[in-house]
Structure 1
């Protein structure tokens, strides 16, 4: 059943029926929510983001290359796959979402984190992140190359989009133990458990 839902929302469904303005508005809101989650809850508390962003952060520490350059480079193959699978509209909206996120994180960078309490970071950071990513996927775009893989895997397996994202992030966070420590990796995993449940609830909402 969920494979049918994923096909509906991503390939033929909801975002194609909605106007471009409506898609753009909700993607804008979603990308800014992700920026809030990252800059005001997660990154400054050493809770890394998942997917290509998390991988870029780790590679940046290893090869000493700018995170933004790595993020762009690593995302290109996934966006190309997304273009051939989901069309030019998907590519344009995904680039738009990435641009909004970049602007949001730049604006919020000087602000201090909202809290240092691990429980609040996990709950509020994961919830806000999940709502943001869920809105972006629901309205026809993605912020991260692993989301493209998650959408494709969800259509061909019993796993939901959120579960696929959680699986990819589990691998990344396990690897991050060697760079950032066990505690930070554990906080990241807990945060994304909250996030992926939220993602699924947003995507599956009628």
Structure 2
């Protein structure tokens, strides 16, 4: 599940041939898809994503603070790790993507959810989220600090990147049961699976060199 996206993370030459305009356009489209998925489909239906975004949604619901603040705050230490292990370009692209994501989340926050049908929310939300994240990874960035941490930890232990990511998300989705309820947590897990599959398909097929 994580093979293609991790290959994109650790390959320093990924998308190096792209112009600034093409890279920026791809990142902006990816960020917009993520923001639309979160604010127009998932968050208002009490469905979370995995990783830092999922934690940010939970904290936002508990504290009544905007989730974009938590996304920036919680990703900050992982971006520094990314700078050390994945390079300066990775840091700049990821930071820019996170700033644009926070701005778009703030702008879309007053807009109501476009549907409350759980099947549509899971499918549309998961596909839009996965395509957006896949594009951001393909063009050199990341929105999820937990995957950066998983890459680093996997190099120093016997556990794989996928095992670390699943371990982190197990606790995140388990926490969602206590915050939103069992049904919403199940919907969140289903959405996460759809998003993960879409990310891998995006990286493997659509943007394959």
Report the 3-state secondary structure (helix = DSSP H, G, I; strand = E; otherwise coil) of the residue aligned with 1:141.
Answer: coil
Matched, 1:177 2:201: no
Is the CA contact (8 Å cut-off) linking 1:9 and 1:15 kept in structure 2? no
Using the size of structure 2 for normalisation, the TM-score is 0.84
* Runs of 5+ unmatched residues, structure 1: none
Does the C-alpha gap of structure 1 residues 18 and 99 become closer, same or farther in structure 2, counting only changes over 3 Å?
same
The 2-side partners of 1:5 and 1:182 are apart by: 30
The 1-side partners of 2:53 and 2:84 are apart by: 23
Q: How far apart are 1:73 and its partner, in Å?
A: 2.6
Is the CA contact (8 Å cut-off) linking 1:94 and 1:143 kept in structure 2? yes
Matched, 1:46 2:42: no
Partner of residue 99, structure 2: 99
Is the CA contact (8 Å cut-off) linking 2:91 and 2:141 kept in structure 1? yes
The 1-side partners of 2:191 and 2:8 are apart by: 28
Does the C-alpha gap of structure 1 residues 152 and 133 become closer, same or farther in structure 2, counting only changes over 3 Å?
farther
Using the size of structure 1 for normalisation, the TM-score is 0.85
* Runs of 5+ unmatched residues, structure 2: none
Does the C-alpha gap of structure 1 residues 107 and 124 become closer, same or farther in structure 2, counting only changes over 3 Å?
same
Is the CA contact (8 Å cut-off) linking 1:3 and 1:158 kept in structure 2? no
After TM superposition, the structure 1 = structure 2 runs for residues 22-61 of structure 1, keeping only pairs within 5 Å, are: 22-60=22-60
Q: How far apart are 1:14 and its partner, in Å?
A: 2.4
RMSD over aligned CA atoms reads 2.8
Report the 3-state secondary structure (helix = DSSP H, G, I; strand = E; otherwise coil) of the residue aligned with 2:49.
Answer: coil
Give CA-to-partner distance per residue, 1:14-41, whole Å, 9 cap, x none: 2222223222111110000000100111
The 2-side partners of 1:101 and 1:183 are apart by: 28
Counting matched residue pairs gives 204
Partner of residue 193, structure 2: 193
Higher percent of residues as helix: 1
